Amino acid sequence: MRRIFAVMAAIAVMAAGAASAAPEYTIKVGYIGSETHPTMQAMKTFAKDVEAGSKGKIKVELYPNAQLGGDRELCEGVQMGTIQMAIPSTSALAGFDKRIQVLDLPYLFTTRKAAFDAVDGELGQKLNSYLEKKGFVVLGYQENGFRHVTNSKRPIKSPADLKGLKIRTMENPMHIAFFKELGANPTPMSWGELYTALQQGTVDAQENPYAMIDDGKFYEVQKYVSETGHVFSYEILIANKKFMDKLPKELNKLVADEAHKAIMAQRASMEKEEEAFKAKVTKAGLKANPLTPEEKKPFVEATKKVYGQFEKDLGKEIMDIARKVQK
């Protein structure tokens, strides 16, 4: 009996030790891109460093490839707290606060530096305050890149080339309005449906940065990529506010600090690899045609109406900041 009690006591001690070593918090991170995308590469380092820095108190689980849903579903999951963190396109948050659409104003930014100066500064701070009231903590803005049009019909050199073209857009009112002004037929559609829609001819075209054109393998079902650069598109690292608030102060700081490191690493990687993404998709068969500043002017002029259309919805406060930072 003594031996039995000794064994039982040993098992109890081991069980207690195992329980104490179990993570106290789990962070599920959702993303629509693949595990090889620079965003996920940066998040793998984030996961490792958060787990190590928390001494096992936090476990980070990464879910790429839209395993937890598309951008809209990821945002809803973070807001409800069923997902602790996600990295959607900023456009997907327009349904939660329409003022986030200011980042999708066509030709708001013409350089990467101007785009990041804006979200790292006054414009980003204001948008972050809006989203916080909706239950989101913004941990930072990452690069998706300048958006370009791919299609299966013809090169796009002028707005006239877009007329009648069925183009997939995100479920974003400003993107839809933008392409309507150019004479295209925009069709909102989730990322997960896009490849098949292009393959089957449900839509003729789509618009995305080179990294996502590569990630989605659109070079398999498209012929042309035209460098319209109509919007600088961001990814945004968001977290559930209640989850962040309940973390002990030192763990909250750890997560925020490691998130910042991941964001800066992702930006650097995207800038470095953009030409590589372009080279890959053109080698795979896409014919690229750049547009000169003169060729872009008709696009800029044609879309000025979009600013007026959304002025009332976005509000004077955010539009004034946008005009101040526009470059």
The token pair that represents 211 in the structure block? 């990294």
For residue range 217-263, list pLDDT tens digits in order: 999 999 999 999 999 999 999 999 999 999 999 999 999 999 999 99
Give the contacts of 227 (CB within 8 A, at least 6 positions apart). Answer: 146, 148, 288, 289, 290, 291
User: What CA–CA distance (Å, rounded) separates 7 from 11?
Assistant: 6
Going from the C-alpha of 115 to that of each of 34, 83, 310, the distances in angstroms are 25, 28, 20
For the segment 3-21, the average pLDDT, to the nearest whole number, is 50
Angle CA(279)–CA(204)–CA(194) in degrees, nearest 5?
75
Q: Please check whether residue 99 is in contact with residue 318, taking contact to mean a CB–CB distance below 8 angstroms.
A: yes
Going from the C-alpha of 136 to that of each of 14, 128, 174, 219, the distances in angstroms are 39, 8, 22, 35
For residue range 100-132, list pLDDT tens digits in order: 999 999 999 999 999 999 999 999 999 999 999
187, exposed or middle or buried, with CB in 10 Å at 0-12, 13-18, 19+? middle
Q: What is the mean pLDDT of the chain?
A: 92
The token pair that represents 69 in the structure block? 């849903």
For residue range 138-157, list pLDDT tens digits in order: 999 999 999 999 999 999 99
The helix (run of H) or strand (run of E) holding residue 224 is strand 224-227
User: What CA–CA distance (Å, rounded) separates 34 from 284?
Assistant: 19
**CATH numbers and ranges of domains, the chain:** 2-322 (3.40.190.170)
